[in-house]
Structures are given as structure tokens and as C-alpha cells.
A and B are shown apart, each in its own frame.
Chain A
Amino acid sequence: MTAGAIPISGRAWAAALLWGLAARLAVLMLVVLAVFILPRLLPGDPLGVMLSSDYTQNLSEAELAELRARMGLAGGWAEQFGAWLSDLLRGDLGYSATHARPVATLIGESLPWTLFLILGAMPVYLVLAALAGTGAGRAAGGRFDRGLTGFVTVLASIPPFVTAVLLMLGLAILWPVFPASGALPMFPSDRPMIRTGQIALHAILPVTALALHEFARFYYLARGEAAVLAHRPFVLNAVARGLPPRRLLAEYYGRNILPIFVARLSDSVSGLVSAVVIIEIVFSYPGIGGLIYGAILDRDYTLLQGTTIAVAAGLLALNWLIDAAGTALAGRG
């Protein structure tokens, strides 16, 4: 973002930016506190869950205390929180005893898969929603609009896990054209080209489920905006002048819809993240959703804390950037 592109006062913009950052850091602090306390309020004990197999032997009190200390569970909450916070400030997310790996490594292994799904879904639903919404909105009340809007309304009322399960049932089990689970086949290819194809094939259903989830929201946005724009004099004028449809779409509708989309995007991203968690679980996709879900079942506090903080920090940062971009675009008018 170059300062030259911004007609509103650069100083005011920078101040808004800083203020936004401060507010988000405050939110992050609340998240840190909540994510420490909430898991500890769940019934069940991490060490107990870890040793719950029928085959584990009864360990002595001393042995249990030793394991507890190594899992960062020694002492009271204040002591645990202090130790965890000081590690966190040094950039250390801790160690997951159930996975026997540093939390940062676990996140590093699973986050790319989650981002891949999110970034794969975004262009799909944004472009489709913009085109379909503009098409419907320009002739609001017409046959195309009524049919499509009715369909989208039904779609919007289906929760994402239902969409995911239906997609899986339809296109992976009853009519098995796509793989039902995972990110790679059982024997992934060594050749990069084929491997990329395999990854893409496995991502199609989860990406579709995710894109469908957000499609409706942006469809309504684009439709509403297009319906208003269609009656604005400058658009009517352009139509009367016989402007080519493609230019009309790109420069008259597109330009006005874009800032609205960007403003809504930060909302959308947090919605996407909560949807992706569920979709990953349905498709056994190796992303961060499965990691969080497992951490809850295992009462793996450190992992749950680390993944939640990482996701929250990422979301807040993205939200901040999108807001900044939105302000800049809106300023441009």
C-alpha cells in the first residue's frame, strides 16, 4: 500500500491504523486469558486422559508428579499461567505431550493445509458471487433473479457441516468421483506434477463445501449493490451510451462492489475459519481444525492454547490489514 494512493490525509490514516493495532492487541490479550482459563474449566485432566488406556500401569504418586511437571501442569493456575506467558512472550508456544512435538511444529505442519483450503475457496466464492449477484441485481425481480435468489436462500440456510456431509455422500461415496478423505492418496506420487494433481483432487470437495458456505453472503451483497446501482444516473447514462457490457460490469459495477466486498472480507475470514474447522473434521483433512478438535478431546491444554492463539493472532492481523485496505479503497471513492 503506497501512501500516494490515498487521498485522505496520510496522517489520519496512520493514526487510524495504529489505533486499530492497539485495539487488536487488547483483544489478543483477552484471547490469551480466555484460552488459558476455558480449557481448565472442562471436566477431565490432561495427564488422566493421556494415561487412560487400559494397558497403562498404575504409576506411583511421585511418577505422576514428575509427568505432571513435564507437561507444564505443576503448581496452581497462576504459576502455570506465568510460566506459559513468559514462554509465549519469547515466542515459544510450548510442547504438546500427546503429540510429542513442539506446538509450533504441529501448527507449521497443519496450517498450510488449512490456508490452502481457505485461499482456494476465496476466489471461487468471491468471483462467482460477484458475477451471479450483479447479474441478478441488475434485473432485480426478473426471472433469473427470482430463481437464483430462491436457490441461494435455501443454500444459505444449510449449515456448513451438512453441506460437507452431503457433498461427501454424493460425490465421494454414492458416486465416487472424488476422494472422501485426506489430502493425499495412500501412496502419494513422487513426481511433483502428479502429486500436485493429487492434492488438488483431494481439495475439491472441502473447498467446494467452504466456498458454498460463504457464497450466499457475498451474493446478497453484490445483488443489493447492483440493484441500487442499476438505477443510478451514471449507470443509466452509460447504458444509454451503449457502453460494452464487459466495461459496464468491470468499471461501473465492479468498482463499486469491490470496496464493499473488501469491507466484508474480514468478517468473512473469521466465518471461514470456523467453517473450515468443521469441514476438515468431516473430510479428515490434516489441517488445524483436526488438530484443535483432537486437542479438546485429549485435554491437551498447551496445544489448544497454542493453536487458538495462532489462529486468533492470524485473524486479527488479517482483519487489521483488510480494514486498512478497505479504508484506503473507500477514501478513493
Chain B
Amino acid sequence: MHILRTVLLVLATMLASPALAQGDRPLVITDTRGDRGMLAPYVHARNGIAYLYTSYVFDSLIAQNAKGELVPGLAESWTLSENGLTADLRLNPKASWHDGQPVTAQDAAFTFSYMAQNPYPFASIGNIDRAEAISDHHLRLTLKKRDAGLFSGLLLALPVLPRHIYSSQTDPGHFASPAAATGSGPYRLVEYDKAQGRYALKANPDYYRGKPLFDALMIVTMSDDAALQALNNGEVDVISYLPPERAGDAKAAGRQVVAARSGHVVKIGFNHEEMFADADMRQALAYALDRQAILDITSARGEAALADTGYFQSGSPWRENVADPAYAHDPGHAADLLEKQGLTRGASEKWQRDGVPVTLRLLADGAQARVAQVVTDQLEAFGFTVDLRLMEQAALQAVPTGGDYDLLISSTSTTGDPSDIANRVTGQSWNADRYHGDGRLDAILKEAGQSATPDERLTHLHEFQRLYARELPSLMLLDPVMATAHNDRVDLSFMPDGALIGIPTTIDKSAFVTE
């Protein structure tokens, strides 16, 4: 047995040893999920990480630095007209496609018309009236209405496509050959192995913003355990998402760990068409729950922080730095509010309406099972009967607004340019708030979107924050912490409001280019 073990160990070590020499080793990043699709706009998987990887290959007109500030991308400079309806962008004449062709204003104008024909779900160009190339390096955009998020939202998010390659593609969803990944970004895709979930990227030597920091990047699929072992052995350099409770393992081996609140909150949504139509009812529920206890039970090792109730989470540049109402646990106050709404406590302290016991139908995303269980326990202790149903996401999605539920626990992003908040508050998606109320929140968001200056926009957003915390379209529970472990080949940090479209990550492309 002993000999067998030794032989197997030797064999395993031999087979597992990396084939590449240490010196020319690429920067290796691990991903637990694996295949994210081909790194081209229309064929990458429809999630934030796939979008992020694609952004290594495709540049946008505007970019971000490591602090999240807007810096020149394919556009060197930009101006907005007095009435806010015309934007003029000057393109960097040094920019070129990975096949050597120059990037021109015609490419950028083409991208807008192409995306009008072929919708790209990560950039909505509905507000662009006209995109024209005034000269090879001068792009003019005409808007239908003012958009305070034009530069920090749309133009940061929109990958510019090479006209000479995409103009002949009538159905880009079927265009997944290597040519589809011809971008103008700092890295070129050289290998994509779908079955193994592995990407190899090489630095674009002609990159217009200077030579990228690393000669090569590699993204590989690994479980947390394997990744930690490989990071400690020096086989990988970055574990992009390390469960925060494992941070100690990486630190013990002398690796660096950065962690931050993600702004990707776990919340309780309400069915606004039934029992929780009234803000008093929602507040009563907030007081009945002990959010701190939910946090303590589900996040014993620092996996999350208590969420702020005014939508924006601590650290967000859009947030007014004041304490939101905390809705500290107060069952007495919750009971008062419920009694004002006509509920009574019957025998055995159970809540009733017109003599009928009140049952709360609680739906939850299976990923939030623990939170859902604690919420259920707390509500039952408070005197509600709770009918808890855990569902997979596709099934939850099919539950319509006003459907067969009272409460819905899900997670949702609060980061990224605020031009998208209206979707997340009034939208009909399963993890949106599905809230209209008296229309005040809607109106504030509209005004914010039409603001003439960033300061004016911020004023509206702060007003939104205060009203949100009072009206509670959803009750924010927890703000999960995300962590990245890495060695000293690279310097990483989380951006305060997420990268590009609000992705909470440390591996934004700004970390891999020189500034």
C-alpha cells in the first residue's frame, strides 16, 4: 500500500507540474466557474465576468483608471454641447485593431448603427439619435434627450466594433470564429478552450495607450481549494474571487488579500400589489426583522456587512454620506404599525386579519437559502405563518409582478452608472423592486438622468437615497464582501463602484495596462 501511494504521488506530481518555465510565465488568473464563452461582444456569456474578460480585448471610447475615474479610451477627448444633446469625441489616431487596421470614427459610428440592428444587451443605445463620422478621427453623437450618464454609462460600456469585420455579419450571434475577437484592447485572444474553460491572451504590442503590463494573461478554471494550493505553489498569481472566509489560508502562505463590500446586495423584495402595497407595512416588516442577527448568523466569518437601506451602499460615489434609517430590531413598533393597518394578534400571538391568520408567502433564490431560513424563523417568532419556497432562478423569473408571493429574497447589483437604476427599481425583472408607489422615485430618477451637471445629478441621487430608505421598495439586508488573493507580481484593488458597468472586481483591465 505504501509503495502504491508513493508511486501514485510521484506520477501525480510529474503530471501536474506546469509545462511552462517560470520566466516567461503569463499572469495566471483563476475563475471557479469556467467557460464564459468566446470573448467577443455578441457571443460571450451574458454575465458580468464574461463582459469583463471581453473588455480586455475590446476597448470602449472611454476608459477607467484603477480608481474608477474616467480616462481617455479610444476617444482622446470629448465635449458636450450647451444643451447636452450633442457630444463630440476626438479619437486617438494611434489606435489600431488587432489585425493592424486603424481605428477610425467610421468604426465607432458603425458600431452604433450595427447595435441598433443587432441589440447588444450590455449597452442600450436607444437614446442615440445619430452617430456620424465628421472626419476619420471626429465622432459626433446626437442624443434624443439629455443623458447625464452618457460618458460614465453608455460610452464606458459600449465596445467599439471593427467595421471591416462586422459589417458583413448579418447575425453576430452566430459569428464566433477567432476573427470575431478582433478588438482594439490591450490584449489579443490567442487561445480559447471551451471544454477546459481556459483563455490565453497576449499583450497587444501596438496598444495606443502604451505597452500593457504583462506579456500574457491566462484565465483558468479551478476550484477554490485547487486555486489556493496553486497560488501558494506559485502556479497561479490571482484568485479573482476567493470566498472571504478563506482569506486566512492565503494570508498564512504570505499572499495578499484585498476585500471590499461588493454592492451586490441580498434584499427582500415585496409584492407591491398585495399585502405590502403600503409603506407602513414594509416598515413594519423591517422593524420586525433583526437584520443584525441575520448578518451574525449567516456571516460568522466576515462574508458580508449590514447593508445600507437607502439603495446605494457604503463606498458608492453616488451615495450621500449620512446614516440611512437602520430599522433596528423593534418588535413593539412593528406591532403598532401592523395594528394601524388593521392586523390583530389572535390566540397564541399569531397575526390575523379579520380573524384569519396571516400567512406570508416567501420566495427565495436557492443561493440565498440560509438567509431565507433565518428570515423565516424570525417572522415565525414574531407571529406570522411563513410559507417558504426555495426556487432556482429560471423558475423565479417566471413569477410575475403581483404573482403568488408576498416577499422575495434575491440578490441584485446596486453599482454602476445610475442611469440604470430605474430598471432596477421600477423594472419588471424578478430581482428588480417592481415598485412604482406614488411615482415620486420615478420622477426623481428622471430628473437625475436629465441633469445638466454632475453636481445637479448627485443632488437628485441623494434625494432618491433618502426617499428609498423611507419607502423601502425593497429592504436591503446584507452587502456581501468579495475578496481577491494575489501574489506580488500584480497590484490589485476593488473600484468603489464596480468596474465599467458596475462589476465588483479587482481584475478590471486598468490593473493590466500602464497608466
Query: Do A and B interact with each other, yes or no?
Result: yes
Chain A residues proximal to chain B, CB less than 8 Å: 42-45, 48-60, 63, 66-67, 70, 95, 97-101, 109-110, 113, 173, 176-190, 194, 197-198, 201, 284, 286, 297-299
Contact of A43 among B15, B119, B226, B394 (CB under 8 A): B394
A178 x B173 contact (CB < 8 A)? no
Tell me if B124 is interfacial: C-beta within 8 Å of chain A: yes
B471 to chain A, nearest CB (A): 21
With known contacts A177-B9, A180-B223, A51–B46 Cβ distance under 8 A: yes
With known contacts A58-B423, A66-B119, A109-B194, A187–B46 Cβ distance under 8 A: no
B-chain residues with CB within 8 Å of residue A186 when the two chains form the complex: 18, 198, 220, 222, 226, 230, 235-236
Nearest B residue to A197, CB-CB: B15
| Further pairs besides A177-B5, A179-B16: 4, Cβ < 8 Å | A54-B412, A101-B194, A176-B12, A194-B15
A43 x B398 contact (CB < 8 A)? yes
B-chain residues with CB within 8 Å of residue A183 when the two chains form the complex: 195-196
In angstroms, Cα B15 to Cα A182, docked, is 14
In angstroms, Cα B337 to Cα A136, docked, is 75
In angstroms, Cα B236 to Cα A88, docked, is 44
Tell me if B490 is interfacial: C-beta within 8 Å of chain A: no
Contact of B46 among A45, A56, A182 (CB under 8 A): A56
B222 x A49 contact (CB < 8 A)? no
B126 x A60 contact (CB < 8 A)? yes
B-chain residues with CB within 8 Å of residue A297 when the two chains form the complex: 392, 394
B195 x A109 contact (CB < 8 A)? yes
In angstroms, Cα B52 to Cα A147, docked, is 58
In angstroms, Cα B35 to Cα A110, docked, is 13
B12 x A177 contact (CB < 8 A)? yes
In angstroms, Cα B15 to Cα A198, docked, is 6
Q: Could you give, for residues 395-435 of chain B, a 1 whenever the CB lies within 8 Å of some chain A CB and a 0 otherwise?
A: 10111000000000000110010001001100101110000
A286 x B171 contact (CB < 8 A)? no
In angstroms, Cα B431 to Cα A49, docked, is 12
A-chain residues with CB within 8 Å of residue B195 when the two chains form the complex: 109-110, 113, 183, 286
In angstroms, Cα B51 to Cα A162, docked, is 36
A100 to chain B, nearest CB (A): 4
B394 x A57 contact (CB < 8 A)? no
A55 x B18 contact (CB < 8 A)? no
In angstroms, Cα B429 to Cα A298, docked, is 16
Tell me if B307 is interfacial: C-beta within 8 Å of chain A: no
Nearest A residue to B393, CB-CB: A52
In angstroms, Cα B432 to Cα A51, docked, is 13
A44 x B395 contact (CB < 8 A)? yes
Q: What 8 pairs across the A-B complex have the smallest Cβ distances?
A: A44-B394, A100-B43, A57-B124, A54-B413, A43-B398, A63-B119, A286-B195, A56-B121
In angstroms, Cα B393 to Cα A50, docked, is 11
A-chain residues with CB within 8 Å of residue B230 when the two chains form the complex: 186
Supply 12 A–B pairs (Cβ within 8 Å), ascending by A. A53-B48, A54-B424, A57-B124, A57-B420, A58-B423, A98-B46, A109-B195, A183-B196, A187-B18, A187-B19, A189-B15, A298-B394
In terms of DSSP, what is the predominant structure of the interface of chain B? loop
B173 x A43 contact (CB < 8 A)? no
A-chain residues with CB within 8 Å of residue B18 when the two chains form the complex: 186-187
In angstroms, Cα B436 to Cα A204, docked, is 57
A57 to chain B, nearest CB (A): 4
Nearest B residue to A291, CB-CB: B195
A53 to chain B, nearest CB (A): 5
A-chain residues with CB within 8 Å of residue B220 when the two chains form the complex: 186
Nearest A residue to B229, CB-CB: A176
In angstroms, Cα B225 to Cα A77, docked, is 45
Contact of B431 among A54, A176, A184, A201 (CB under 8 A): A54
B397 x A49 contact (CB < 8 A)? yes
With known contacts A100-B42, A185-B16, A186-B18, A70–B171 Cβ distance under 8 A: yes
A58 x B222 contact (CB < 8 A)? no
B-chain residues with CB within 8 Å of residue A66 when the two chains form the complex: 118-119
A42 x B15 contact (CB < 8 A)? no
Tell me if B123 is interfacial: C-beta within 8 Å of chain A: yes
A84 to chain B, nearest CB (A): 17
In angstroms, Cα B398 to Cα A44, docked, is 5
A-chain residues with CB within 8 Å of residue B128 when the two chains form the complex: none
In angstroms, Cα B32 to Cα A182, docked, is 12
B46 x A178 contact (CB < 8 A)? no
In angstroms, Cα B400 to Cα A48, docked, is 12
A326 to chain B, nearest CB (A): 35
In angstroms, Cα B423 to Cα A180, docked, is 42
A100 x B38 contact (CB < 8 A)? yes
In angstroms, Cα B19 to Cα A194, docked, is 11
A-chain residues with CB within 8 Å of residue B176 when the two chains form the complex: 100-101
With known contacts A180-B226, A183-B195, A186-B18, A97–B173 Cβ distance under 8 A: yes
In angstroms, Cα B194 to Cα A113, docked, is 14
In angstroms, Cα B37 to Cα A88, docked, is 25
Tell me if B208 is interfacial: C-beta within 8 Å of chain A: no
A-chain residues with CB within 8 Å of residue B235 when the two chains form the complex: 186-187
B-chain residues with CB within 8 Å of residue A100 when the two chains form the complex: 37-38, 42-43, 173-174, 176
B19 x A190 contact (CB < 8 A)? yes
A57 x B121 contact (CB < 8 A)? yes
B-chain residues with CB within 8 Å of residue A190 when the two chains form the complex: 19
A54 x B397 contact (CB < 8 A)? no
B47 to chain A, nearest CB (A): 5
